[in-house]
Structure 1
């Protein structure tokens, strides 16, 4: 808001609520909160939907985009000496901050309003991303890695696979602090899935190799899963069983390592919609409200009482004009060039 109490009204086709029912009308925002979603006859080609929530990122990798072509997943990202970790150690604080700032600017430009970050580098890594976020309107849930001190300095703990370490101490400390605990599981094989589930995490990441036993455990425990299908394709580990996971629990979309993939939720949605047997509205939920609720954020839907993190698209762009099914067009076709505005509580 430019001044306290100022009202913002957005008009167009609104993808309302959890079903993303397209209605013609207006969205009213006051003091950074959605206060009304009104059906009305309006003269606007805009499409109004929730800004995206990127449920799994490693943004520090922004220092080395497209590095390591042809390397295996272990050679790329395995701690402590995978290519990513070596490059992160070699980079200065200033280099890391500058690279992350560029990624954050792109994320905002491409419709992302919030993200969940697994932040390498201990406390220093947490401080670096805090510095990089100082000029951003993104909502960030930053999970420190490697040490309990990093967890205490951030919003929680982001663990590597349970085969790499037991993480019992870190899990206990995170629970006592009342913070989020997320963990990679089933990315390269199924061996670390049950140990990860035994930790009773707040969410899992990847689950490429989840079989029926694991899927049943996920359903029984109602643990959400963040999937990153483009990343899994690039690293050659396979594709997560997205439809099967979605039948059993909450599934959210993430873009994973910036040095492997652009942090574009448009690209992640399109890819997911075209490789997984999942309806467009469900993919859009994966890209918005599912990640928000997994991370404890009050955004991800266009409904009263939610924080005003909204995406406004040009429905009359060369790309979107003539779309018969708006939700399907947003998920499978829309892109950065269609973005007219990203609304956040700080800029509404």
Structure 2
């Protein structure tokens, strides 16, 4: 498979005119050469934090607080999840995954409610789709064993040292929500030495110092934080101290579009476009243990191809900035997954 156009090459997303040669599911070569194409070729997105089980409850709970919406065990989403049967849940999740794929996402990390059964439902929904589901189970240790890691709700909800130890023993990632709408759950979360934190909206200077000192990555979900009224994460401060990835969080609150998340993060901060694009691609890939997120030889062939001559993108002067702040699902020509060329 050969894809030509303006290629955002390497970790700096340097725009070159050229082509990407893919073979056996990997990028075989990135060649700078004349290309008669208006396409823009970049790494596919990795959504670093989702709750796709919420697909049965899109736009539910208007006017409710964060606790009333999502706090376990009796937040609105948990009540709705308990009422839904497996067939309904799987069908709703599958539709969300198709939408994510259409918007350039080829992998995502989901904090999976429902224990082992919830992990199984996610894998069933993703079966045969060209998108990779990383299930970070919760609620029981069997979910960790069945899934790809453990995704803890928060240190204020329960004590997770047993789950942390089990994840470490299994060699699987352990992530935890922290500082979303409070500060008292941040230190207990840090004491668990997690592989990554999610949110950190209310992180203080001491928390940020420790995150930097211990090299703990953070996933931010600014659109969801705005929607629930908890504030906005200190994205620039975090990015100056540690690796930051982007996630779209609960499907009940926002559509899982990495285009929208990037645009919001970019316009919310003064970060350059290449830093924001890295949060949506390379940073999430590193958390998931994937060898992608960068267009360079030897990487997995997970690519997003945009129509640079669409009515939306025609005439752009800065392709990286255009991808981050302007592009959308309507500009997508192709989403390439390793399975397509292996």
State the TM-score, normalized to the length of structure 2. Answer: 0.99
The equivalences for 1:190-339 within 5 A come to 190-339=183-332
Q: Deviations over 1:297-331 (max 9, x none)?
A: 11111011111110000000000001011100000
Give the match for residue 66 of structure 2. Answer: 73
User: Secondary structure of 1:347's match?
Assistant: helix
Shift of 1:189: 1.2
User: Secondary structure of 2:212's match?
Assistant: helix
Which stretches in structure 1 are left out of the alignment for 5+ residues?
Answer: 1-7
User: Secondary structure of 2:198's match?
Assistant: strand
Name the CA distance, whole Å, in 1 between partners of 2:315 and 2:285: 31
Shift of 1:141: 1.4
Name the CA distance, whole Å, in 1 between partners of 2:199 and 2:161: 21
Q: Does structure 1 residue 104 correspond to structure 2 residue 97?
A: yes
Name the CA distance, whole Å, in 2 between partners of 1:147 and 1:125: 11
Q: Could you tell me which of 36, 42, 45 is aligned with 1:43?
A: 36
Name the CA distance, whole Å, in 2 between partners of 1:159 and 1:40: 48
State the TM-score, normalized to the length of structure 1. Answer: 0.97
Q: Deviations over 1:162-193 (max 9, x none)?
A: 11111011101111111010000000011111
Give the match for residue 58 of structure 1. Answer: 51
Root mean square deviation, CA, Å? 0.6
Name the CA distance, whole Å, in 2 between partners of 1:258 and 1:154: 20
Q: Does structure 1 residue 32 correspond to structure 2 residue 25?
A: yes
Give the match for residue 152 of structure 2. Answer: 159
Which stretches in structure 2 are left out of the alignment for 5+ residues?
Answer: none
Q: Is the 8 A contact 2:123 2:133 kept in 1?
A: no
Name the CA distance, whole Å, in 2 between partners of 1:215 and 1:147: 30
Name the CA distance, whole Å, in 2 between partners of 1:269 and 1:298: 21
Shift of 1:200: 0.4
Q: Does structure 1 residue 136 correspond to structure 2 residue 147?
A: no
Shift of 1:139: 1.7
The equivalences for 1:13-28 within 5 A come to 13-28=6-21
Aligned pairs, how many? 341
TM superposition outliers: structure 1 runs of 4+ over 2 Å: none
Q: Is the 8 A contact 2:52 2:96 kept in 1?
A: yes
Give the match for residue 169 of structure 2. Answer: 176
